[in-house]
Amino acid sequence: MIKKTLQAVAVTSSLFAVATIAPLSVSAAYAAELNEKSALKLVEGLGQEAVQLLASKDLSTAEKQRNFTALIDRDFDMKVIGRFVLGKNWRTATDSEKSEYLELFKKYIINTYQKRIGEYSGENLDIVKAKPLNDKEFLVNSVIVRPKGPKIQLDWRVRKSKSGELKIIDIIVENVSMALTHRDEFSSVISQNGGKVEGLLQKLRDHTATSTN
């Protein structure tokens, strides 16, 4: 008798547990899937717009540059990337150095990648899939298909910012992280200049000045 009651209690309580937990986990899974889809859409949209923009023949170089900057601003979290790239040196930098750095870094990135993407036009960007990395980051896998030569694997690290927007925080080419490469490079420049952020700023100033001409 007692055994039966206990069993019944156990069954009902476990049913209850399932009943309350199941919808929770379903909705969590659903939310994750939704985010994955929007991460995918973000990259897809950006890819199309960027290639279209840079391949367009109607726009002047200055207009292209302006529109490309707008795209980057819209889809990339430049502040997060910039700070990651500066690494430890962020802490030693003064406020004015920080703000100048962020500005120069954005210019530097735009110059660099505008050229890079401009050269890729004519090749296809195939978005493959998105998968969650943790509760607020996703990795979107894509492939650049070239008429000649092997495919290039291109992954986008997308992160949900505090305001809930999805923003790209890293591009990974054949498992090589661009953010990490820039970070290694920048910290080397700083250490070559006696650990002063100013040395890096000077290099960036020169570089962005010469490459816009």
Partner 1 sequence: MISLKFKSKLMNGCFAVALAGFLGACATPPGQDSAQVMNTEVNDPLEPMNRYFHDVNQAVDALALRPVSHIYRDAVPDGVRDSVSNFLTNLSQPIYFINNIAQGDLDGAGDNMGAFFTNTLLGFGGLFDIAQLDTDREDLGQTFAVWGIGEGPYLVLPVLGPNTTREAVGIVGEHFIDPANLVARNHDIDHFEIMRGTARAIDFRSKSLDSLDEIEKNSIDFYAAIRSLYRQNRKNMILDGSEENTPLPDISFEQDDDKPRLDQVSQLFEDDNSTEKKASKVKN
Complex with partner 1: residue 53 or 208, whichever CB lies closer: 208
* Residue 132 DSSP SS3: strand
Out of 44, 67, 69, 207, point to the residue binding partner 1 (CB under 8 A): 207
194 binds partner 1 (CB under 8 A): yes
Please name the residue ranges forming H helices in the chain.
2-55, 61-75, 78-86, 89-92, 95-120, 178-192, 197-212
Q: Tell me the closest approach of the beta carbon of residue 28 to partner 1, in angstroms.
A: 16
69 binds partner 1 (CB under 8 A): no
Out of 40, 89, 106, 125, point to the residue binding partner 1 (CB under 8 A): 89
Out of 59, 90, 103, 123, point to the residue binding partner 1 (CB under 8 A): 90
Q: CA angle, corner 36, sides to 32 and 39, nearest 5?
A: 135
In this structure, are residues 123 and 146 in contact, taking their beta carbons and an 8 Å threshold? yes
186 binds partner 1 (CB under 8 A): yes
β pairing state of 176-177 and 166-173: antiparallel
96 binds partner 1 (CB under 8 A): no
118 binds partner 1 (CB under 8 A): no
Phi (first) and psi of residue 31, to 5 degrees: -65, -40
Residue 158: name the closest of 141, 183, 180, 137 by CA: 137
Phi (first) and psi of residue 132, to 5 degrees: -75, 140
65 binds partner 1 (CB under 8 A): no
Interacting residue ranges for partner 1, rule: CB under 8 A: 79-80, 83-84, 87-92, 95, 98, 108, 111-112, 115-116, 119, 133, 136, 139, 141, 148-149, 153, 155, 157, 159, 161-162, 169-170, 172, 174-177, 179-181, 183-192, 194-195, 200, 202-204, 206-207, 210-211
